[in-house]
Structure 1
């Protein structure tokens, strides 16, 4: 019984550290984040961060891996309805705005230097295969290769979160519903192309 309580406490501490690190990394990136702030926010200490994750980079990798797994699980691809898939991805970014911020920090600070995350590679590989199969069956156009089409859909789904504040000034309707409509319509137009 005591071992079970210790295991639950350890998992609760690990979860608090991941949650606090998600907030910290989304706000400050990897270089700007501080392990002492993460530990304080998690009601823990720096030693626990190093115990569970090895380093600040290891903690970021754990945060990013968890975020990717949650996204992959929450928003499975439907190659027969890529516009709606893009809309659901957009919805997930609205509901979890830290996702796009973490992805931006990852691209800025880790691109080329980090080991590839298997969950992302596996997910993208499966998505490309699903799109390629739909193309081969004639359900999707072949104007773009399967990897190119996936990339375009992914980028269109995150279009709104990738813009600078000065662009927001000229947008007439900034509602999430309207933005979702634009994403869905853009992917549909891409497929009609």
Structure 2
């Protein structure tokens, strides 16, 4: 029977995603990943290279998955709040990406995998924010994306702080989601108001 290469790669990526998100790059072990996937660890080296390269592949796959599942769309401040809510929901259901990015930041600092491609993806996100909030400054749009990502990622990577500050009531996740949506909406609304104020003098000078 022919070896199903794509299926094997998928099994390894799934197992590696779990291992890296829990243990980080330094703490993860190739033999545990191979055992969880039910595959000989030599397949990892054959398909992905060394452990660092496998981590890169896992992170890249998660980034693409979340970007495609949670697009930034719509028009106006409420759409930004809605995006923040959907991103929070995505991380609540599967927080692997938040943890992977956390480990990457701790262990690699500014040395990101596939920097050019990821820079393009980030630029596309800022473009989407400016399309939803016409007229706002590009730097403000970038800060808004970063704020939303940080708030949503924090739910996954800082559960102990959340519990200490806010407790663990049954509706805790719903309350946190609502607060993030409210924050994103208010910031977006404020940025739109600033953009309108900056535009007004220019329009007056032309009239």
Please, what TM-score do these two structures have when normalized by structure 2?
0.79
- Give the superposition deviation at 1:124: 1.3
Matches within 5 A, 1:69-148: 69-78=64-73, 80=75, 81-135=79-133, 137-138=134-135, 141-142=136-137, 145-148=140-143
Q: Which moved more, 1:141-150 or 1:45-54?
A: 141-150
Whether 1:59 and 2:54 are equivalent positions in the alignment is yes
Contact 1:79–1:131 (CA under 8 A) maintained in structure 2: no
Q: 1:43 to 1:72 in 2, by over 3 A?
A: same
Highest CA radius of gyration, 1 or 2?
Answer: 2
- Please list every run of 5 or more consecutive structure 2 residues that lacks an aligned counterpart in the other structure: 191-207
Contact 1:26–1:102 (CA under 8 A) maintained in structure 2: yes
Query: Structure 1 residue aligned with 2:39, among 44, 52, 57?
Result: 44
Tell me, in whole angstroms, the C-alpha distance in 2 between the residues paired with 1:13 and 1:108: 30
Tell me, in whole angstroms, the C-alpha distance in 2 between the residues paired with 1:170 and 1:76: 31
1:175 maps to what in 2?
A: 172
- Give the superposition deviation at 1:119: 4.6
What CA RMSD, in Å, does the superposition of the two structures yield over aligned residues? 2.2
Q: Which moved more, 1:79-88 or 1:168-177?
A: 168-177
| CA displacement, residues 47-78 of structure 1 (integer Å, 9 cap, x when unaligned) | 10000001101100110011001101100012
- Give the superposition deviation at 1:16: 0.8
SS of residue matched to 2:165: coil
Tell me, in whole angstroms, the C-alpha distance in 1 between the residues paired with 2:5 and 2:108: 28
Contact 2:155–2:162 (CA under 8 A) maintained in structure 1: no
- Give the superposition deviation at 1:145: 2.1
| CA displacement, residues 16-69 of structure 1 (integer Å, 9 cap, x when unaligned) | 111111111011100111101111111111210000001101100110011001
SS of residue matched to 2:38: coil
Whether 1:31 and 2:18 are equivalent positions in the alignment is no
